[in-house]
């Protein structure tokens, strides 16, 4: 039986949004996900595209209807009870697993007690970040990075948080999304930046190794990687669409970068609207 959700001739899709799937390539390959439907967005470049929010939002965890989305697609009860929505996800150094107060200890063991990578990336300038080792290179593509370099491998998410806090003394952990979408990011020598930062932070890293063990924080000798995105034209002035204020948006699809659609009418971060039920015309 043919899966109608994958037929290229489909022009109207309806379902709850998930973040776009991105595969590395020259350029990266983007797939729109709306409910069970999938659509190759690279094939839509230069063509009209419209999104219309139906007014419905479904929690991505439990599926219940919610009037407002919390933490990118959760209802309020799930937002309050799930470990993946806790403060320590954004600030891993605040992990409270060993205090016995983790919201979901089994979930924490599966996701937080796994190897993590501390990396340098360039999406709008130099930044430091962390991700599970299994999320490389997805994390970088989601951020719209044009360059990335893993620099350290640690044993747990909490340890990655302590390392990131140390690096934030020298480098930002944020991406300027407007600058990222203008497409004029200047290439950096990430290997040289790595060496500079490791030298400056040698004392702090030594303290963390003394606390967690010499093998807990390992320096990586990887080479930088570069990414290319499917963009016909970058905006000179970045104007952002908001489905909560304007439920229907449309325009010609000019590009895809990070989790953003770049339309000639403005840009929209689809990940922000995870769980929103939309009608997509392409």
pLDDT tens digit sequence for 179-208: 999 999 999 999 999 999 999 999 999 999
Q: Over the stretch 55-112, which tens digit does the pLDDT of each residue have?
A: 999 999 999 999 999 999 999 999 999 999 999 999 999 999 999 999 999 999 999 9
d(CA 235, CA 254) in angstroms, rounded, equals 9
Residue spans of beta strands (DSSP E) within the chain: 12-23, 29-34, 37-40, 48-57, 116-122, 126-132, 147-154, 217-219, 225-226, 248-257, 260-263, 266-269, 276-281
SS3 state at 115: coil
Instruction: Please report which helix (H) or strand (E) contains residue 81, including its range.
Output: helix 76-81
Q: Over the stretch 18-63, which tens digit does the pLDDT of each residue have?
A: 999 999 999 999 999 999 999 999 999 999 999 999 999 999 999 9
pTM for the structure as a whole: 0.93
- Beta-carbon neighbour count of residue 133 at 10 Å? 12
Could you give the dihedral angle defined by the CA atoms of residues 112, 118, 120 and 123, in that order, rounded to the nearest 10 degrees? Answer: 0
Q: To which residue do tokens 């796994």 refer?
A: 114
Instruction: Please report which helix (H) or strand (E) contains residue 131, including its range.
Output: strand 126-132
Residue 34 has which token pair? 């709306």
SS3 state at 167: helix
SS3 state at 262: strand
DSSP state of 74: B
Q: Over the stretch 209-239, which tens digit does the pLDDT of each residue have?
A: 999 999 999 999 999 999 999 999 999 999 9
């Amino acid at each position: 039986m043919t899966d109608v959700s994958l037929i290229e001739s489909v022009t109207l899709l309806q379902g709850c949004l998930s973040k776009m799937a991105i595969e590395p390539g020259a350029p990266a390959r983007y797939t729109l996900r709306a409910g069970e439907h999938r659509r190759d967005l690279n094939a839509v470049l230069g063509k009209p595209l419209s999104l219309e929010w139906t007014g419905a939002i479904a929690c991505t965890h439990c599926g219940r209807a919610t009037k407002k989305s919390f933490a990118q697609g959760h209802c309020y009860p799930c937002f309050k009870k799930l470990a993946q929505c806790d403060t320590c996800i954004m600030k891993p150094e605040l992990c409270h697993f060993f205090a016995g107060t983790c919201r979901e200890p089994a979930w924490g063991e599966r996701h937080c007690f796994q190897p993590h990578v501390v990396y340098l990336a360039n999406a709008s300038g130099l930044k430091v970040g962390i991700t599970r080792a299994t999320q490389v290179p997805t994390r970088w593509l989601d951020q719209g990075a044009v360059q990335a370099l893993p620099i350290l491998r640690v044993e747990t998410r909490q340890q990655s948080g302590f390392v990131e806090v140390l690096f934030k003394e020298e480098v930002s952990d944020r991406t300027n999304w407007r600058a990222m979408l203008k497409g004029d990011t200047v290439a950096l020598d990430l290997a040289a930046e790595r060496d500079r930062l490791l030298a400056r932070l040698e004392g702090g890293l030594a303290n963390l190794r003394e606390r967690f063990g010499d093998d807990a924080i390992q320096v990586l000798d990887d080479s930088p990687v570069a990414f290319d995105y499917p963009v016909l034209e970058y905006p000179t002035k970045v104007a952002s669409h908001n489905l909560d204020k304007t439920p229907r948006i449309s325009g010609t699809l000019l590009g895809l970068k990070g989790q953003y659609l770049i339309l000639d009418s403005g840009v929209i971060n689809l990940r922000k609207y995870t769980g929103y039920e939309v009608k997509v015309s392409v």
